[in-house]
Amino acid sequence: MTDSRMLKIFVGSVLLLSLALGAPAFAGYPEKPVNLMIPYGGGGTTDVTARLLANIAQDDFAKPIVVVNKPGGGGVLMHELLAQAKPDGYTLGVVATGVLTRTPFLRKVKYDPEKDFTYIMLFALWQYGLVVQADSPWKTLDEFLDYAKANPGKVTYSTAGTGSAQYLAMEYLAQQKGIKWTHIPYKGGINAVTALLGGHVPACAQAVEWKPYVQDGQLRLLAVLGGQRIPTFPEVKTLKELGYDYEVVSGPGIAAPAGLPPEIVDTITKAFAKASHDQKFVDLLNKLDMLPFMLDKAQFEDYIKKDVPRKKQLVESLGLSYQQK
């Protein structure tokens, strides 16, 4: 063998070794189980949907996805843990839109929704609506709002809590129409709906705990607070369709710590996006009265960018910001 040929082989070997040593860590991703944290306890809609989604997605990972419940602080604890985790693709979280864009202004948290996360996808939406008793005089949203404006302080409405997505939607309407009404918060959506059924309040803004009562004719759905019509009630319009520039985008998504390499983002996206279209998962969403929904990374980031300042302004205008107290 000539000296020149030996030199070429040596140089080539050194080059291959340097490429191998310099190969990015994500080349074999995932090489071990991936942890998926859930911000709430077991058995709820977020837990049930995320677990099924993960079980389906792991077929494309070739490694287990380990689901870990991290409840605490109304979902805040998990979001804080996710923000502080290493961006290597082995710690993911099921983030909630409200905890991202609303909670940071209601209380002090250890994360910045615009800086601390890599958003991957938003996979479902909870549904919300404004309901009144079926024998009430209001058959449309505008009739209800006109009455409330003409009778300041007379109208009350129930929700599952101050600062909730549905509460902010109602207060947005009040600001737009110059309405003075009173919010009555209850512990849980069922209690808020029960208050309406019992005549303790004339209206309720809440998730679909009211659905069976609308179906059996006890309550009337005046408007959908989200961005899509509810399939069970296709004739009822959304706030935007009724002329109000507001929609409740409230649902769970998949995210990672900030700085996750694009190649790992792509791997996770492909697996979870495919899983979100699986018929078993779609059937579960239908059973839980959740809407299938898909925002990809860029769309999720755009949503956060636009919604954070909007929620900040609304929370501050209502005097709910922890910094104002």
119 and 51 in one domain? yes
Q: Using CA atoms, how far apart are residues 273 and 111, in angstroms rounded to an integer?
A: 26
H/E element holding 219?
strand 219-224
User: 2 in a domain, yes or no?
Assistant: no
> Residue 117: inside a domain, yes or no?
yes
Q: Give the residue from 224, 239, 267 where a domain finishes.
A: 224
Q: Are residues 91 and 174 in the same domain?
A: no
Tens of pLDDT along the chain (325 residues) come to 444 443 333 334 333 333 333 333 456 899 999 999 999 988 888 999 999 999 999 998 888 999 999 999 889 999 999 999 999 999 999 999 999 999 999 999 999 999 999 999 999 999 999 999 999 999 999 999 999 999 999 999 999 888 899 999 999 999 999 999 999 999 888 999 999 999 999 999 999 999 999 999 999 999 999 989 998 999 999 999 999 999 998 999 999 999 999 999 999 999 999 999 999 999 999 999 899 888 999 999 999 999 999 999 989 988 888 887 6
Give the separation between CA 12 and CA 15, rounded to whole angstroms: 5
Q: Would 218 be classed as within a structural domain? A: yes
Domain of residue 165, CATH code: 3.40.190.10
253 and 184 inside one domain: no
Return the CATH number at 267.
3.40.190.150
Q: Are 314 and 322 in contact (CB under 8 A)?
A: no
Burial grade of 22 (CB within 10 A; 0-12, 13-18, 19 or more):
exposed
Residue 152 sits in which domain range?
A: 141-224
Do 178 and 95 fall within a single domain? no
Residue identified by tokens 């005089």 is: 137
Phi, psi of 67 (to 5 degrees): -85, 125
- Whether 17 is in a domain gets the answer no
What's the Rg (C-alpha) of the chain?
Answer: 24
- Pick the closest to residue 262 from 295, 305, 297 (CA basis): 297
Closest CA to 305 of 163, 115, 94, 172: 115
Compute CA distances 196 → 55, 131, 155, 208, whole Å.
39, 9, 12, 14
